[in-house]
Structure 1
Amino acid sequence: MSIVKIPKLSSELEFVPFELLEDEIKVKYFSDGVQAGFPSPADDFKEQRISLDSKYLTNPDATFLVRVKGDSMYPTLQIGDLLIVKSDKELLDNKIGILSVNNTEFTVKRFDKEKNILIADNKSFPNIEIGEDDTILCLGIVQHFIRDL
């Protein structure tokens, strides 16, 4: 019998627990967006209401939150960003995942399928080359992130 121990998160990540309650909170949402240039005075704001939890926390059994504590993915991800991670998504080319190579600590990196490397967006950090005999464990794919301004 073989028992596989799941690696822990590296020091650049922090698990953030969340709990879904029965009540859904909806916030105002302007589907037409806002102009970053010169807005037209004729623009008519059409107010709608959306639930952030139903948009970003769908399938709660396959969703978890992780806070970025390191800067290997800067400028894409910054220290303090809250990552919304989905464990039911497939690791595809150029996706950012929570990954472990050969049972090492989980880290957050971009997957380059063609070159078989895990990319650190911050050029000060080395990429992780993936050999033919290496095993990648994908905890989940980063689908969204929240950044405080």
Structure 2
Amino acid sequence: MLITEIFRPAEQFQRSIALYADTVKAGFPSPAQDYIEKTLSLDDLCIRTPAATFFVRASGSSMEKAGIHDGDVLVVDRSLPPGHRKIVIASVDGEFVCKRLDLSDPSKPVLRAESDDYPDITLRDEDELEIFGVVTTVVHAL
């Protein structure tokens, strides 16, 4: 999955939206509540470290089994360590990709696709790898 656009969070925009106390059932409907318990800012929900956060738009289908689809916006935190099995934004020889980091063998990291249609990226000694951050949230329009 390639990265097509990179964005920074807006510094001035923080809007709180109504958060209803009741949960939404995925089965049978329940009566709606007539009150709002509190508000929720999407910034507070999706951004843990504002100074280290950026957004990218994904392109392609190599991460679909991880719930990342073509056109989704990914929230990426540069302050988090890129651990084993984390989904990361990386540059491999200058090309930005979104893959799952496999550190089973720490001497040979692998960037794994989450689709059977795409190969994993097994890094060679001469490959240049830079991890830009860990994906923390996926914004997926229905």
TM-score of the superposed pair, with normalisation by structure 1: 0.77
Q: Conserved in 1, the CA contact under 8 Å of 2:19 and 2:38?
A: yes
Q: Conserved in 1, the CA contact under 8 Å of 2:84 and 2:103?
A: yes
Q: Conserved in 2, the CA contact under 8 Å of 1:14 and 1:69?
A: no
The runs of 5 or more residues in structure 1 that have no matched partner are: 1-9
Change (3 A) 1:142 1:11: closer
The equivalences for 1:3-18 within 5 A come to 11-18=2-9
Residue identity over aligned pairs, in percent, reads 33
Change (3 A) 1:31 1:123: farther
User: Does structure 1 residue 99 correspond to structure 2 residue 90?
Assistant: yes
The runs of 5 or more residues in structure 2 that have no matched partner are: none
Q: Conserved in 2, the CA contact under 8 Å of 1:98 and 1:106?
A: yes
CA offset at residue 131 of structure 1? 4.0
> Counterpart of 1:34?
24
Deviates more, 1:126-135 or 1:87-96: 126-135
The equivalences for 1:39-78 within 5 A come to 39=29, 47-75=37-65, 76-78=67-69
Q: What is the CA deviation profile of residues 106-142 of structure 1, one whole-angstrom value per residue up to 9, with x for unaligned ones?
A: 2000011115311111111110113466553110110
TM-score of the superposed pair, with normalisation by structure 2: 0.81
Letter in 1 for 2:130: L
Q: What is the CA deviation profile of residues 71-122 of structure 1, one whole-angstrom value per residue up to 9, with x for unaligned ones?
A: 2212421011010000001111111100123x33120000111153111111
Q: Which of 114, 126, 132 is the equivalent residue of 2:119?
A: 126
| Higher-strand-fraction structure | 2
CA RMSD of the aligned region, Å? Answer: 2.7
**Counterpart-to-counterpart distance in 2, 1:11 and 1:61:** 24
